Structures are given as C-alpha cells and as structure tokens.
Amino acid sequence: MQFIIFVAMSNKIPSLRTMGTLPVFMTAVSTILGAILFLRFGYAVGHVGLIGALGIIVIGHLVTIPTAMAVAEIATNQKVEGGGAYYMISRSFGLNIGATVGITLFLSQAISIAFYVIAFVEALVPLIDWLNAEFYIHPLINKYLFDTRSLGVIMMTLLTMLMLSKGASIGVKMLYGVVFILAVSLGMFFLGESNAPNGNNFSRMIKGGDSFFYVFTIIFPAFTGIAAGLGLSGDLKDPKKSIPKGTIWATIVGIIIYVAVAVKLFYSASTWDLATNQMIMSDIAIWGPIIPIGLGCAAISSALGSIMIAPRTLQALGVDSIFPGKLNGWLSKGRKKDGEPFNSLVITCIIGYVFIIMGDINTVAGIISMFFMVTYGIICLISFLEQFAADPSYRPTFKSRWYLSLPGAVLCFWLMFKMDFAYAAVSTIIMVLIYIWVSRINKDKKGIQKLFKGVLFQLSRRFQIFLQKRDTDLVEQEWRPFIISVSKDSFKRQSAFDLLRWLSHKYGFGTYIHFIDGLLSKDTYQESKEVMQRLLAQNNGINSKVYLDTIISPSYTSAIAQVIQLSGVSGKGNNMILFEFTHDERESLNDAIQHYSLLRATEFDVCILRSTIKGFGYKKNIHIWIRPSDFENANLMILLSYIMLGHPEWKNGVINIFSTYPPTEKVATENKLVELIKEGRIPISPTNIQLIPQLKEEKIDKIISKKSADADLTIVGYSSEHIEEESEATFNKYPDLGNILFVSAFKEKTIE
C-alpha cells in the first residue's frame, strides 16, 4: 500500500520536535495508572470478584497488546507527523476512512478531558468533607461552589488558561512529578495491611452486583493510555523509535501493576467496602491522604494530556482539509511562536465543558470506551490487512504478527456490542454518517476502496494459483464463459462491450481489450494509457464486471495470437472470443473469418455479433434458432441466453426457441427439447418452444427473418462448413433483423 507523506503538514504546523521516548512512556503510564485505578478498580473487584477483575485485565490487554504491537509496527513503517493515531490510520486506509476514525477519536479525546476533570473533582471530596467537618461552610456556598459540576467547570477553566498561556510544554514538565507521586501512592498502598477478609474464595463478589461487561465498560478507559502517547507524534524527535518503545513499556508496566492492585484490594478489604467505597485504596494505604493526592495528580495530568492531544488531532484533520470551506484553515492554524493549535483547543474545551456539566463519570466512561474501542479495532485491522496484502512499500522495522492483529480487531468490535449494544449501535451509526458526510465533502480523496485493495489483490492471486494447481479437464456441467473481445472500435460502438458485460455479470469472466495498431514505443505506450483512461471514464457508473485493457500490436492477427494465449483476469485460460461488425463496416467480420481456423485450433468458441441501428431493443425477447447443423451449437446458444437473463437489464427477458425437425420426428424433437430444458433448469416455458418442419436452407432463412423481426436479440448457430462454403454470406442473410449473435461452439456443451 502506497503511503503519501504530506510534507506541507510540518510546514503548516511548526514544532520544535524536542521530545524523546520518556514523555511517550510517562504520558501513557500516567493515563493507565490514573483515575480508573484509584476510583473504580475497587468497585470492579467488589462486583465481579478477583477472578472477574483479572479477567477484565486479561481481556483489556488482549485488546491493548495487539494494538500496541500494531501501533509500533505502523509507526516504524512511515514518517509520523502530528495527529497521532489519526495520521497513522489516514495514511494507511485513506483520508476519508482516516477522517471518520479521526473525528471520533478527537471526540473521545475531548470527552476524556471531562472524564479526568470529574475524577479530579471526586478526589477533592475527602478535602471538602474535612472542610465541612472542621469549618462551617454556608449551605449555599456548599451547594453551588462545592458542587461537582461547578468544581469541574472551574477546574476546566483553569486548565484551559494554563494551556493557552504555557502550551504543551507545561504538560510534559508536569509528567515527571505526576509519575513520581503515582509511584509513591502505589508504594504506600501496597505497604498497607492485608486483612484477607475474603478468604480463599477468588470468585467472591457482592450479591446483585453489576454485570461483567458493564463493569468492563467502566474500567476499559484505564487501558486507553496507549493512545495518549501517540498524540505526541508531532512533537517527537524520532516517532518511529519513541512511539513503539514508550507504548509497549507502558503497557507492560500497566499489566503488572493492575494485577498486583487487584490482588491487594481483594485481600485487604471486604467485598461490600470494595463495591461501595470508591476511595477504599485510601483506607488500605499506610497514609490515607496519599491516595487522593495521587488520584488528583494522575487525573489532572491525564486531563492535561487530553487537552494537549485532542486539539492536535483536530488540527491534523484541518491540515488535511477534511472539513468544508474556510473551517480547515481556521482549525489548522497554529500559534506563531510555538505552533500550539489555539483554535482547535477552543473547540476541544467547549466539548469538555458540555460533558463536565453531564457530571456522570460512568456515562462518560461508557462513551469513551466505545470510541476508543473502534479506534483500537481499526489500528489492529490496519496491521492485519497490511501484513496480508504483502505490499512491498510496507516495510516496518518493528513487526507484529497477523495472529495477534486479527484477533485484536475482532475482539474490539465484538466487545463493543457486548459492553453496551445500544451505545455500540449508536457509535456505529455515527461513524457511518460521518463517513458519508466526509466522503461527500472530499470526493477526490481515497475512501473505503483503498481499504481492501491489497487484500483483494492477495486473495485473487492465491485463488488463481489454487485453481491452476488443481485444474483438470473440466466436465461439461462445470463450463462457464471466459470471454475475450479485441476491438479497435471501442469508442464507435458499444454493442460488443454491452454483450460482454451481460454475459460476464454473474456466471463468467469478461475481458475487453482495445487494439492499438502499431509497434510498441514511447508514443504508442502513452497512447495506450490515454485510451485506458477513456475506457474507464466511458464505463464509469455502468454496472460492469468486465476487465478492461489495451494491447499494442503491429497487426490484428498478432494481437489475436497474443491474447488467446493469455490466462486472462480469471486466472484461467479464455474459452470464448467475441467479434463484432456492422453491415457498413465489415473489416471486423473479415478478421473473424480469417482467424476462425486458428481459434478453432486453440479450442475457442467463436461468437460474432452483427450490430444494427436497432441495437438490443427493449432487452425482452431472445430468439434461439436451432437447425439440423447446430447439434454442437444448440446447448451453448441456450446457455448463453440463460446467462444473459442473469443481468438486471434483462431481468424481464423471455427466451423463445425455434427448432426444425424432420417430418417424421416432430414429437421426438419436441420431447427432447422439453426434457433438455427441464433437466437443465433453464427458465423457458414449453409454450415458448416452437417446432418448424425441416425445409431447405433458403426457406428457413426467410422464416427466421419473418419470425424474429421484432426480437431484441436473435441467436443463430454456424459451423466451419458454413465458413468454407459461404464465407461472409453466412452472416448477411438477415438484413431486416436487429442484433444477431452467431455462435460456433468448439464442442457440444452439456446442460444438466
């Protein structure tokens, strides 16, 4: 898959790029070991037990480990600019897909700010309770100033002012102190007494507790820390080195600490206390106040991290001109002195205020989980598809494994619906609507068609090799048309191409090749490229499954000789060729007659279409004429008519069969045809089979001209004897009919 590097991005968004691996690690680990660990992990152990809590950790990391590996892989394959996960996804899946994920990722990052601010406010609850106990606080002040929402808005305002004045550098500087306080907090927690109130019953949980997946939904944001480090991609000196190392090490540290905390909590407090006391870690630690302090620092650090990352994602979307009109320029604009995304920060903070006012940390956690789960799933999917596609341009220096990426992607999407079906359904609908909206605004940018391009190539390649290795002499019921048509009249007439696309729509493969007369040179090669673009443009929007190509050759004979030896797009040899001519331009007819014996020698069925001004009429009536000389052609003519009815344009079509019979064999001929149609399950009513007494050839030709005058397509057989005896006259007997398809089968086909 070809990666496009937008150098302009780095020009539009000035950055000092001074950060190394440590900020990535600390940003990720401070988010992983943050609000959820301190506020909600005791709740998880109380409601689902130790085994359930360990299960949550395992399942969470069955998502995050493949994602971390995929992140490391994708980051080491390309230059990573600002925008983090959005940049990586958009450069792999195309801007429309990337923008869809990028917008939802931005929303989850912006909503995360509210989550962490609310968590910080909840860390202040013990302080507020102490102030109420020690000092009298007026009820009105207590109600309006110390309310969770009010404190959240105040805190959000302070953080916004801090970011506007100091920029991202202040957040990175704070990380060192935050990680140190987190380490001290966890150390004091682990040094606290373990009273083992739950005994040896690992599954012990509160009666009537919340379900496993509901608890998992609330806990999952704890595992989203790997995305935090990605957001610094535009500020890193060496993203290919720093992102993989920082992300993977943060994930490993997170696993170890979460398992240890789960065990410590279970053996240190009763199930009831775990389930109902969100500050239970404070009761266990050797010095209780350190836990609210650690929680507050982790929450405020994570909030700052989200305020740093979310605007950069939105800014990157603006740089890629995802949004309509002048909005892109406004969002992508950075502060002159340091490139800080000032305008994007304003939008981010507004979203943060909205969700802070909602005030419910569990609801916010559920929304975050959905959007992050989608992002992680798509990152894993990128890794799997890139590995499967085997694109030479995909050369990461760090390689994950497809058997990690594929289960990771599947698990992400499965967990979404297990966690909360309604949220998952709404999230999916929102993403589909965003994709439709983005695609309409950015019609020139690659979308979902880029998603599986490499995968389809690999599947096609493997299927073709599989079929070739197992190819044997096919029995007749396995016959299907592999048709090729070579024409220099592609832009004069459409009849041959139309017939080819009808016959190859459902049951076969069609290859249409435009013939360019001349020697291969720079000029003719350039001409072939221009012709190819014209062919594609001409057939854009048509319901066609025909493979288009061009061929440069010094003669039509050499072109035919070349194409009949090629395997074609199906991966198998072609078995039928289609020529086309008109009454006033017979050169193509002469070509068909001239090459007939060559095509028969190479076991081709040869079809010649005579186009007329009537065209294919209303695409309703197909007349098949079966004469005594058509014993080899009859079944092929019937099969071709049946195949044509499989195309939507012929869905109301009716097949009529006309057959001649010797005077004494009318009943036998009719029974044979009816039985053939019945056993072959061909949709032809017995009433549409008409028998005609065997007459001289000239009289049969007149009957054909009379009875098929209004047919939209007439199918008539011919043989090598006709070519030898009558040559062109074989195809010029019916001047008053519409389009006629002359069919010559190499051998009889079986209808069963």
Q: Which domains are delineated in the chain? A: 7-450 (1.20.1740.10), 472-580 (3.40.50), 612-752 (3.40.50.620)
Count of other CB atoms within 10 angstroms of residue 490? 21
- Distance CA(623)–CA(637), nearest Å, equals 10
For position 477, what pLDDT does the model report? Answer: 46
Contact 247, 174 (CB under 8 A): no
Q: If pLDDT is split at 50, 70 and 90, which confidence band does 366 have?
A: confident
b (16+ CB within 10 A) / e for 527-563: ebeebeeebeeebeeeebebbbbbbbbeebeebbeeb
For position 199, what pLDDT does the model report? Answer: 55
Strands (E) across 344-487 are located at 482-487
| Six-digit token string for 146 | 């110390």
| pLDDT of residue 499 exceeding 90 | yes
For position 679, what pLDDT does the model report? Answer: 66
For position 189, what pLDDT does the model report? Answer: 92
For position 545, what pLDDT does the model report? Answer: 83
Q: If pLDDT is split at 50, 70 and 90, which confidence band does 660 have?
A: confident
| Six-digit token string for 679 | 């056993």
List pLDDT tens digits, range 262-318. Answer: 999 988 888 888 888 888 888 899 988 888 888 888 777 777 777 777 888 888 888
| pLDDT of residue 188 exceeding 70 | yes
Compute and round to an integer the Cα radius of gyration of the chain: 36
For position 232, what pLDDT does the model report? Answer: 60
Farthest CA pair distance, the chain: 120
The least confident of 17-26, 79-88, 628-637 is 79-88
pTM: 0.63
| pLDDT of residue 500 exceeding 90 | yes
DSSP for 709-723? TT-SEEEEE--HHHH
Look up tokens 């569990």; give the residue: 362
List pLDDT tens digits, range 314-365. Answer: 888 888 888 887 888 888 887 776 667 878 888 888 888 888 776 666 677 6
| pLDDT of residue 177 exceeding 70 | yes
Strands laid side by side in the 621-626 sheet: 547-553, 509-517, 482-487, 576-582, 605-611, 740-744, 713-717, 621-626, 654-661, 689-693
Share of the chain above pLDDT 90, in %: 14
List pLDDT tens digits, range 107-128. Answer: 888 887 887 787 777 777 766 6
Contact 606, 628 (CB under 8 A): no
Determine the average pLDDT of the residues in 407-423. Answer: 87
List pLDDT tens digits, range 190-241. Answer: 998 766 565 556 666 676 678 888 888 888 877 777 666 665 655 677 777 7
- Distance CA(428)–CA(406), nearest Å, equals 20
Contact 514, 552 (CB under 8 A): no
- Residue 450 DSSP SS3: helix
For position 697, what pLDDT does the model report? Answer: 66
For residue 559, CA distances in Å to 99, 517, 591 come to 46, 9, 11
Tell me the β-bridge partners of 607.
578, 743
- Distance CA(91)–CA(612), nearest Å, equals 50
Contact 262, 54 (CB under 8 A): yes
List pLDDT tens digits, range 541-552. Answer: 777 888 899 999
φ/ψ of 547, rounded to 5, equals -85, 130
Q: If pLDDT is split at 50, 70 and 90, which confidence band does 502 have?
A: very high
- Distance CA(502)–CA(615), nearest Å, equals 14
Residue 691 is given by DSSP the state: E
